[in-house]
């Protein structure tokens, strides 16, 4: 059973930075698509960034996060990271990591496409 555990959330002021981690366990097979999502109550869960385990490419849901956030992985630790810089109050959300075994490249940011989810870590940015 795949388990995902997020950490690194917290409260920061606008302009600050945070680094989220997603530690995965229970992987079988060689390749998983992993994504960072965020959710604000009342809104849809939205994709932020993602990658394929063992791959070199990274993916971002839109340009506003691509310019400020960096997704990366440590294959030896089965851990995905999200470095978030220049945070603003609109980034306040619960951040989740998600995974799905994939064989044909990154599957995008449709939440329903992912099989496994972590419990989330809260990010709060104050102005």
Tens of pLDDT, residue by residue over 37-68, are 999 999 999 999 999 999 999 999 999 899 99
Tens of pLDDT, residue by residue over 11-20, are 999 999 999 9
pLDDT > 70: percent of the chain:
100
Here the tokens at position 29 are 């097979």
pLDDT of residue 29 exceeding 80, the answer is no
Helix H, strand E, coil C: the string for 22-85 is: EEEECCCCCCEEEEEEEECCCCCCEEEEEEECCCCCEEECCHHHHCCEEEEEEHHHCEEEEEEC
Q: Taking residues 109-114, report their average pLDDT.
A: 96
Model pLDDT, residue 10: 98
Model pLDDT, residue 27: 84
Q: How far is CA 67 from CA 38, 48, 127, in A?
A: 17, 12, 20
pLDDT band with cut points at 50, 70 and 90 for residue 103: confident
């Amino acid at each position: 059973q795949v388990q995902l555990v997020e950490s690194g959330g917290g409260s920061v002021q606008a302009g600050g930075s945070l680094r989220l981690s997603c530690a995965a366990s229970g992987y079988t097979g060689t390749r998983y698509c992993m994504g960072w999502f965020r959710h604000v109550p009342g809104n849809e869960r939205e994709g932020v960034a993602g990658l394929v385990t063992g791959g070199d490419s990274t993916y971002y849901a839109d340009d506003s996060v691509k310019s400020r956030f960096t997704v990366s992985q440590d294959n030896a630790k089965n851990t995905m990271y999200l470095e978030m810089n220049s945070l603003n109050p609109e980034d306040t959300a619960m951040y989740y990591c998600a995974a799905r075994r994939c064989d044909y490249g990154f599957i995008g940011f449709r939440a329903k496409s992912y099989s496994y989810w972590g419990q989330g870590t809260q990010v709060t940015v104050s102005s």
